[in-house]
Amino acid sequence: MSALEHECGVIGIFNSDDLDLAHEIYLGLFALQHRGQLSCGIAVNNGKGQCDFIKDFGLVPEVFTLEKLRSLSEKGRGIAAIGHVRYTPSDFSELSNNQPLVMRYARGSISIACNGSLTNYLQLQNELEKKGAIFQTASDAELIGYMIARQRIKTECIEDAIEQIMPRLEGAYSFTVISPKKLVAVRDPNGFRPLCLGKIKNSYITASESCAIQSMGGTFIRDIEPGEVVVIDKNGLRSHRKNCKGTSSLCVFEYIYFARPDSIVDGASVHLCRREAGAVLSREYPVNADVVIGVPDSGLDAAIGYANESGIPYEIGFIKNRYIGRTFIQDKQQEREKSVQIKLNPIRCAVENKRVVLVDDSIVRGTTSANIVNLLRGAGAKDVHVRISSPPFLNPCYYGTDISSRDYLIACKLSNEEICRQIGADSLGYLSFNGLNKIAGHSNLKVCDACFSGNYPTQIVDAGINDKFSSKLKSIKK
């Protein structure tokens, strides 16, 4: 139950069969919905020289009615298509930032869907504006589109243009592009955000997570490498690796919280990573207790790991209301205090008079944890031992999660003992750094753990980067 928010999810498909691409992308986006619930969109290259698209605020099944899906298919089943889900930033209304972004440039119509966050966005935007550029959104996709368009004038093909601009882009980006005749998928050289390759029949799919490929009924092939540019057209798939540095900095929070447990990310099962984190945690912070419970849904895998390793029985401690949507009303202060109970209700008989180990994925601000511990006390729990399946969150993230300031981070302000007291727990244990390194169960997994360690894989150019998101969001909006 992290207070962090996902950045986005992307998916693309090139039609080498006779698939109804709009419908395929719909299924894939639906499986990526956990990566973004604010808005979603689909763009289809129907082979008539243009991209048809629909994008709007809302969940995938809300935006894409049968009628709308059909309108995307009516000009043909499609040559290639991409989709995007977007998470919720502070400002709800910036319609123009929704993706995919569809634009026309010298070589025709292209669409871009991007997951990530460029750390030198403002610098690049500034440079372009000085050359007369105009910006209609605050999205990385538009900036990347601009740079492709300007580079494309000098290149033979779009993939060359992309490879040539990649050294200029700093930060996290995994994006897919439809050009008039190709689908191109790109992952930044650090590989901050996941991107993988699959196939349905003869048609290649590129997606943020493998669960999307499985939900579509396709087969997972492999992860796309950091720095790799994958090009798919009627001649098949080609890979360009000029920007591959051989390193990797996948965001560790993909394993801890962002990705769906049934996904395989950079070779590791997300579910197993979380189970293993729980198991390590059990060895690092053992305790005598009667039951182990997880905070639904992101703490459940680690809780099973903790239970199995410790031999303490696993239990279901909370019922999470499945019908919470973005329209749920909490307009009164008194309601805010109740709000955790509305979403999460403890099962009294599962915890009453028991010593409870409570497993969660992270503590960001600390208020949610305090509420949950309090609910367990109210349901009669004797002891509550909080175990967190990640190290303390100490540093802002500039690569696409929405924590870009230390002001919100409880671990920056209080010691572990103080946090334990503040959330009302009987004991508190965080996964160690050492433990974190073991969770993937194989030695060569390299991640970005800057949020825990402060070791940023890229240089953060802008001193005022903390304000980057806010200024970016404010610059243009609906």
Active-site positions?
A: 8
Q: How far is the CB of 409 from a copy of itself (least distance, A)?
A: 27
Q: How far is the CB of 135 from a copy of itself (least distance, A)?
A: 4
Helices 468-475 & 121-129 angle (0-180, nearest 10): 40
Residue 195: partners with Cβ closer than 8 Å, 6 or more residues away: 10, 174, 185, 186, 187, 206, 207, 208, 223, 224
Q: Which is nearer to a copy of itself, 146 or 285 (CB)?
A: 146
Residue 174: partners with Cβ closer than 8 Å, 6 or more residues away: 10, 114, 115, 116, 185, 186, 187, 188, 192, 193, 194, 195, 208, 224
Q: Which is nearer to a copy of itself, 239 or 341 (CB)?
A: 341
Q: How far is the CB of 48 from a copy of itself (least distance, A)?
A: 8
List C-alpha distances in Å: 176 to 68, 105, 196. 22, 17, 11
Q: How far is the CB of 399 from a copy of itself (least distance, A)?
A: 24
Q: Which is nearer to a copy of itself, 163 or 301 (CB)?
A: 301
Residue 383: partners with Cβ closer than 8 Å, 6 or more residues away: 289, 355, 356, 426
CA–CA dist 338, 318 (Å, integer): 15
Which residue, among 35, 80, 78, has the nearest Cα to 60 in the 3D structure?
35
CA–CA dist 199, 214 (Å, integer): 10
Q: Which is nearer to a copy of itself, 31 or 448 (CB)?
A: 31
Residue 339: partners with Cβ closer than 8 Å, 6 or more residues away: 330
Q: Which is nearer to a copy of itself, 150 or 382 (CB)?
A: 150
List C-alpha distances in Å: 435 to 249, 289, 412, 428, 431. 18, 22, 21, 16, 6
Cα atoms found within 13 Å of the Cα of residue 202, Cβ hemisphere only: 8
Q: How far is the CB of 348 from a copy of itself (least distance, A)?
A: 7
Q: For the chain, give the longest Cα–Cα distance.
A: 72
Compute the chain's Rg from CA coordinates: 23
Q: Which is nearer to a copy of itself, 60 or 289 (CB)?
A: 60
Q: How far is the CB of 403 from a copy of itself (least distance, A)?
A: 23
